[in-house]
Amino acid sequence: MQLRVPPPPPQPEPSGTGGRAARRHGTGPSRARPTARATPATALGSRLAPLARYARRLRPRYPRPGRTGWRRWIPSWRQWLGSVLSGCGLVTLFLVVAYAATDIPDNLNSYATQQDNVYFWSDGTPMARTGWVQRQAMPLKDIPQDVRWAVIAAENETFYTDPGISLKGITRAVWRTVGQGDTEGGSTITQQYVKNVYLNQNQTISRKFTEAMIALKLDNKMSKDQILEGYLNTSWFGRGTYGIQRAAQAYYGKDVSKLNASEAAMLASLLKGAGLYDPTLSKANHRRAVQRWSWILDRMVKIGKLSPAERATYKTFPEPLKSNPLYDTGEQSDYLVELASQYAKKAGHLTDKQFDLGGYQIYTTFDRKREKALTDAVTKVRKQAKKQNPAAAKSGHYGAASVAANGRILAVYGGPDHRRQGYNESNATTVPAGSAFLPFVYAAGLQHGVHKTRVGPATPVTPYSVYDGDDAVPVSTPEGPYWDRSGRKVAARNDGGKSYGRITLRHALAQSVNTPFMQLGMDTGLDKVRQTAVASGLLRSSIGRQVPELSMGTSTPSAIRMASGYSTFAAGGKHTDPYSVSRITRNGTPVALATPRPKRAVRAGVAADVTEALTDSFRAAHPSVAGTKAGVSGKAGSNEKDTAAWYAGTADSVSTAVVVYRIDLAKSLEPLPLHGLAGTSTDSVPYNLWSVAMGLD
């Protein structure tokens, strides 16, 4: 049996020889300690120990030991340094996160990219502009170097070297916003471009910060030239214009490519605020503009983009135009713009949204000289009518159009003022053609022949085919007289109830004898009459009902379509749909345009026969003019109810149609009796206007 002897109790250390305090200072008796392998946590702790001791030293101890008075509460330089470094680190972290979180918007500000559309006369000179803003984007290659550097010198001379933002400028802007309630100053060209196309114009610190973040990213994504091009095309220059191209036209009446350095410097000064630097607004503005213009030119010399010798040549301030020449479209030209825009969208396959975003250059077919002559003539007639017959003149309308044999619309008269009367008198299909429709019946008979029986081939018709020209001759069919729904025989009527006896078709057309053509229409077939009129240029929707009266002109073509129809005969029987736009570009790039092509309407021989008869008609009615001008053909047109008076004809491959009628637009579109508004047969208002439009007067 073994006895377990307990170990002796530990002996207490003498108080004078050590203990915990002695061991802390290394003065106690040594004691063997077992060695152990260092763990990773122990190793990491040993490495962080210096940092921990440094952090404990930075930890503020208040009041500070070893200091007296107020100094006991002031942090040490180590504490100040730690705070600054910590703040910088947090700010840097915030900016890095903000930069990463900020995306360049996918969609540009639609207003910033919206442009105007510009319309040109057939000779290439500007006619009008439309759109909510005046802006036309220009490729940077088409903007002269002097213009670019004038803007850079004025706004941001370090543009090509800066990162897209100016820290100094941003700081100044923030200081003014916080300290003085003002947000001026500090934006680079890149920042201004960002504000124009991605953001709004709100003057807030948050918008300024977002602007800076996007500018930094944009500067890394786009080339400097791309940014400069965008900036020059979106900046506001006053006078309702956006972009350097419209500014050049508004202030100097020329394209940007024609500007010199002096003019460019004046336009660059407007970027600081057109309300303060447009020299035409006030004397104070003029003084400021001259000073800034001179400063910009000097600045260009300083940055090496303008030689001192060239600078010396620019001593006189380049005075701009007094007003914007593109601001108003004018009264009559609004009708032209309406026609051209409708055609441009249709032929160019453009949606309303695309067209409204602008940037299109529409080159029209309108002849400036013809348009002026026609407009002046109708304006004069309107004034005379108001004096002589004010009651009738109040509801009077004068539609007129000139169309070339190849389909080009050269001139129209649409009304006195589009802003008060949007109704286009030249394009209205409301009044009957009357006897001006007879050439189409004649052409149909010559083209298709006639049927005197229900079966068998058609019998050819020539200009010398004879018909009964007496008044009130009943219209017949192969089965006998034609009866209307009321049970009455249908008979044709001549103007004034006059009878002509047996008469050839050519002579009947020249004398405007109605009755032969009513019967000719029945013999040819009213469907063939309709087909020929449509093929010649009249709209299908304007053709009258398929009854015997169709041949008497119950159709209601517009002046444009009537002129187009007569031009088919002048073009040898080929018809080209009338068009008002010859070419479209968008910011200089061509837009595909579906230009109409000529189509055969009637045989060339038929067209020649119709033209000869119309030439006889013109010579018989106006022998004095016919003797001095060869190759002119034309015919008057009237109807039984005296609600419209026409004159249509051709000279030098241009056909013109004029119609005078009365409609009270406030009540209805029902034609009213003319009551003498169209003049007399010897002094016909439609003919007088036609002769001016054709250059015969």
The pLDDT of residue 607 is: 98
Which tokens belong to 80?
């100040």
pLDDT of 214 > 80? The answer is: no
pLDDT band at 104 (very low <50, low <70, confident <90, very high): low
pLDDT of 10 > 90? The answer is: no
Domains and CATH numbers, the chain: 143-313 (1.10.3810.10)
Write out the DSSP string of 136-160: ----GGGS-HHHHHHHHHHH-TTTT
pLDDT of 219 > 80? The answer is: no
SS3 237: strand
Dist CA 533 CA 610 (whole Å):
13
pLDDT of 81 > 90? The answer is: no
The pLDDT of residue 19 is: 45
SS3 668: coil
Which of 204-208, 403-407, 561-565, 655-659 comes out lowest in average pLDDT?
204-208
Specify the amino acid at residue 635: K
Please choose, from the candidates 517, 498, 495, the residue with its C-alpha nearest in 3D space to the C-alpha of residue 508: 517
The pLDDT of residue 666 is: 84
The pLDDT of residue 20 is: 43
Which tokens belong to 541?
């929707």
Q: How far, CA to CA in Å, does 170 sit from each of 173, 182, 185, 522?
A: 5, 13, 8, 86
pLDDT band at 412 (very low <50, low <70, confident <90, very high): very high
Which of 46-55, 480-489, 511-520 comes out lowest in average pLDDT?
46-55
pLDDT of 85 > 90? The answer is: no
pLDDT of 177 > 80? The answer is: no
What is the DSSP secondary structure assignment for residue 592, as one 8-state letter? -
- 334-368 per-residue burial string, b: 16 or more CB within 10 A, e: under 16: bbbbbbbbebbbebbebeeeebbbbbbbbbbbbbe
CB 571 within 8 A of CB 565: no
pLDDT of 71 > 80? The answer is: no
pLDDT of 93 > 70? The answer is: no
Dist CA 431 CA 92 (whole Å):
78
pLDDT of 90 > 80? The answer is: no
The pLDDT of residue 27 is: 46
The pLDDT of residue 454 is: 81
More confident residue, 353 or 265: 265
Which of 43-57, 562-576, 624-638 comes out lowest in average pLDDT?
43-57
Cis amide linkage into residue 63, ω under 30° from 0: yes
What is the average per-residue pLDDT within 559-572?
98
**Percent with pLDDT over 90 in the chain:** 55
pLDDT digits (tens, 9 = 90+) for 318-333: 999 987 776 555 578 8
The pLDDT of residue 629 is: 84
Query: What stretch of H or E contains 550?
Result: none
The pLDDT of residue 682 is: 83
pLDDT band at 136 (very low <50, low <70, confident <90, very high): confident
Tokens 């910060």 identify what position?
A: 209
Which tokens belong to 432?
């009957």
pLDDT band at 24 (very low <50, low <70, confident <90, very high): very low
Tokens 């057309």 identify what position?
A: 509
More confident residue, 28 or 436: 436
Strand partners, 242: 135, 236
The pLDDT mean for the chain works out to 84
pLDDT of 653 > 50? The answer is: yes
What is the average per-residue pLDDT within 662-690?
91
pLDDT of 586 > 70? The answer is: yes
Instruction: Count CB atoms within 10 A of the CB of residue 481.
Output: 12
Dist CA 477 CA 459 (whole Å):
15
User: Contacts by 137-140 with C-beta closer than 8 Å and gap 24+?
Assistant: 137/233, 137/243, 137/245, 137/359, 137/587, 138/229, 138/232, 138/233, 138/243, 138/244, 138/245, 138/256, 138/587, 138/588, 139/229, 139/587, 139/588, 140/225, 140/226, 140/228, 140/229, 140/232
Which tokens belong to 181?
């309630």
More confident residue, 9 or 591: 591
Radius of gyration of the chain (CA): 44
pLDDT of 573 > 90? The answer is: yes
**Positions of E strands within 524-628:** 574-575, 581-586, 589-590, 599-600
Write out the DSSP string of 371-434: HHHHHHHHHHHHHHHHHH-HHHHTTEEEEEEEEETTSBEEEEE--S-TTT----TTS---S--G
The pLDDT of residue 173 is: 55
Instruction: Count CB atoms within 10 A of the CB of residue 316.
Output: 7
Query: What stretch of H or E contains 627?
Result: none
What is the DSSP secondary structure assignment for residue 583, as one 8-state letter? E
